[in-house]
Amino acid sequence: MADVKTAAYICKGCEIGTRLDTDALVKAATKSGKMNLVREHDFLCSAEGVAMIQNDIDNEGVTHAALCACSRRAKTDAFNFTSIAVSRGNLREGVIWIRPDTDAARETTQEMAEDYVRMACAEVKAMQVPQGNQNTGSVKTLLVVGGGISGMTSALESSKAGYKVVLVEKTGALGGWAAKLHKRVPTREPFKAPEDNGVSDLVARIEADSNIKVYLNASIAKTDGAPGRFKVEIAFNTGAIESGAVANEDIGAIVQATGFTLYDANKLPELGYGKSPNVVDQAGLEALANAAAAAGKPICRPSDGQPVNKVVFVQCAGQRDNSGTHLPYCSGFCCNTSIKQAMYFKDSNPDIDTVVLFTDLRTPGNGEDFYRSAQNKGVIFSKGVVSDVSAAGNACSVKFKDLILNEEVDTQADLVVLATGMVPTSGPDLDQLSEANRVAEGGDEGAKQHVVELMSKSVLNLTYRQGPDVPHFKHGFNDSHFICFPYETRRTAMYTAGPVRRPMDIMQSQEDATGAAMKAIQAMENAGLGKAAHPRAGDLSFPTVRLEGCTQCKRCTVECPFGAIDEDAKRFPLFNESRCRRCGTCMGACPVRVISFENYSVNTVGSQIKAVDVPDEFAEKPRILILACENDAYPALDMAGMNRHEYDPYVRVIPIRCLGSVNTIWITDALNGGYDGVMLMGCKHGEEYQCHFVKGSELGRYRLSKVGDTLKGMNLETERVMDLEVAITDIATLPQKINDYAALIKSFPPSPFKGF
């Protein structure tokens, strides 16, 4: 290893020099921080300041630099010194901007600043320069699973960007559901009439594109490897029977566009489905419309082939159901589809009576133009809830409650169309599969069969320890971070697009598929460079483990939210670095602290905790440690500073990658070192999670729930450790929450561990 030379740089700009005693800061970096070189500069981020640092790197041999200026989230381009280890001491947003400029506050503000200088010096000395992942994958071919509108769009957009694509479709033709449509909802002005489904054009473009290789009647038999170096086996099927033939492809990233199936209308006997041939779902009506067009006739009644004089469309059939019997969500596309299908009848014969029964009419993508056009053609929209549909000879009786007149109505119709919703084709639920496997291991034959049934639904057939498919929400849609990273899944370089991700119509699916393709391309490029994907995009660090200290507890492999850790032949953790998102959850999970990153470890945080000057019990100056998630909490603190919201001078903030990365040794060390309290700030978890690493905050909070026993063993109040859920928007309220917690800590006696 090359000789280490440390340097600290103190900025005097942005009023730091007028609010703080920078000579004392230099002394803190020199004496306490023990830095080899310490310099001041009037504006460190200026061209001259940056040149000074670069000159020290080039000519003075500086390898580790502590930049004590603004937040680590500011001036990232100016302070981008990739050849050395860099830490940041937050003197601007974290000190002078959150403290009043008064003589009374000057002493505690200066103490705060000196602590942050010492912390930055301690952190950088515990860091190494990330060398990057040497086991990179250089494959730049995209696998698209699913040949519907979403899949074809992803393939074409990737090809336009210059990338090779392998497109796998389980049926014998491309097009998916869209190919079955007689017409589609309009996509352009004036949004007045249905238009061609557009599938033939997409298929022709796919067939003419030399960058796209298509496998029909095929499915994914096995997916092994990691981003940039996936090994995929593609099995060919003859109908439903596997032919045994297999093709192998090297893949860089994956887009899963496996679409949806319609909710089973047989589950709606109260709405007449299965009891009368004149009750169909929306797909059934499309089939009738296609058959009628082929025969040159109008749409006829299925029961006897006679003309339809009246048709009733029932919205939300088996959807938006709060009873738990049917789908609880809205599928989004159904209202526009019913409007389109009502026009099939009005365009062929304006005298056909068409009624759309709805509770709420939702027409995304085109405002109300399409709806108004249907009204102008004579389509009747009535607000009502259907309770029963029954056969009445060759007609149907539809009973519903008119929500405007608040009365029960019974009307007759030749044809009833049920707007059933989308059910994603996303593979087996991993929690169900895990439980079935657990029971099957006990010899239960029924459970073994259940495992086989679940596995038969697998889409990607991953060899990951954590399961064969991408995790999904309880309703089957693939898990993605809707707020920040909508295309991402919990498997790196695997992206979902279209209705497998959330309910959406064709136009939304095409936009979604384009976004997913662009993210997949980014993932392939990152993999080739050994860089992380979101949210730490570009991070070259990756986890390493000291196997001689590993107890094989498997907590890291189980808790990794992204399936990045397997086990080797000796049952030690095996890290797949290019799958890793660098959240540090494995580091927080490790009870023996043998997992670390070059630039983020138990030691980099622990050294900062120990670098703080903790006054004795007679000084009446408590110390409160805040471990703040860098994704929401730390930005909120920065913005609180930008808005000059003040908070207590006795807190010391250390940014962490995720609450999931918190190792409980940090809390123990802080309390043993005389800190009076510890506050942890993480993102919201649960079904509506906001954690950038999906499960990190949940896992972190689970571990923290056990800290109370430690506190009791140390004869400390359990309130000394607080967990706070923070959103990035909590700019105005967060300082007050800190102040309230500081007031609580001050009401306790000083920590009995001060001075030890």
For 352-408, the pLDDT digits (tens) are 999 999 999 998 877 689 999 999 999 999 999 999 999 988 999 999 999 999 999
pLDDT at 321 over 60: yes
Per residue in 560-610, pLDDT (tens digit) is 999 999 888 889 999 988 999 999 999 999 999 999 999 999 999 999 999
pLDDT at 48 over 50: yes
**pLDDT bucket at 24, cuts 50 / 70 / 90:** very high
614-756: in CATH 1.10.3470: no
pLDDT at residue 443 in the model: 74
- Per DSSP bridges, beta strands 164-168 and 212-215 are parallel
**pLDDT bucket at 241, cuts 50 / 70 / 90:** very low
Q: Are 695 and 656 in contact (CB under 8 A)?
A: no
Q: Is 663 exposed, middle or buried (0-12, 13-18, 19+ CB in 10 A)?
A: buried
pLDDT at 12 over 60: yes
Give ranges for CATH 3.50.50.60 in the chain: 141-259+470-529, 262-424
Give ranges for CATH 3.40.50 in the chain: 1-129, 614-756
Q: Are 625 and 677 in contact (CB under 8 A)?
A: yes
CA distance 327 to 321: 6
CATH number belonging to domain 141-259+470-529: 3.50.50.60
Per residue in 629-640, pLDDT (tens digit) is 999 999 999 999
CATH architecture of 262-424: 3-Layer(bba) Sandwich (3.50)
Q: What is the DSSP string of 338-393?
A: HHHHHHHHHHH-TTSEEEEEESS---TTSTTHHHHHHHHTT-EEEEEEEEEEEEET
Per residue in 672-709, pLDDT (tens digit) is 999 999 999 999 998 888 999 989 999 999 988 888 88
CA distance 695 to 561: 6
Residue with tokens 């995929």: 232
**pLDDT bucket at 442, cuts 50 / 70 / 90:** confident
Least confident of 133-137, 615-619, 741-745: 133-137
Half-sphere exposure of 436 (CA within 13 A, CB side): 18
**pLDDT bucket at 5, cuts 50 / 70 / 90:** very high
CA geometry: angle 476, 313, 191, nearest 5 deg: 85
pLDDT at residue 243 in the model: 59
Written as six digits, the tokens of 444 are: 């239960």
Cis peptide before 615 (omega within 30 of 0): no
* Chain-centre distance for alpha carbon 460: 19
Residue with tokens 């192998």: 248
Per residue in 261-280, pLDDT (tens digit) is 999 999 999 999 999 999 99
pLDDT at residue 456 in the model: 83
Handedness of CA 223, 227, 231, 235 (dihedral sign): positive
Q: Average pLDDT for residues 57-72, to the nearest whole number?
A: 97
pLDDT at residue 175 in the model: 97
- Per DSSP bridges, beta strands 565-567 and 573-575 are antiparallel
Per residue in 727-738, pLDDT (tens digit) is 999 999 999 999
Least confident of 124-138, 163-177, 223-237, 246-260: 124-138
**pLDDT bucket at 756, cuts 50 / 70 / 90:** low
1-129: in CATH 2.60.40: no
**pLDDT bucket at 240, cuts 50 / 70 / 90:** very low
What is the pLDDT of the chain when averaged over all its residues?
93
pLDDT at residue 453 in the model: 82
CA distance 286 to 273: 16
Q: Are 236 and 247 in contact (CB under 8 A)?
A: yes
User: Percent of the chain beyond pLDDT 90?
Assistant: 81
Written as six digits, the tokens of 535 are: 């949210």
pLDDT at 9 over 80: yes
**What's the whole-model pTM score?**
0.91
pLDDT at residue 3 in the model: 87
pLDDT at residue 754 in the model: 80
* Residue 230: strand, helix, or coil: strand
Reference 490, options 390, 571, 563, 402; nearest CA is 563
**pLDDT bucket at 227, cuts 50 / 70 / 90:** very high
pLDDT at 102 over 90: yes
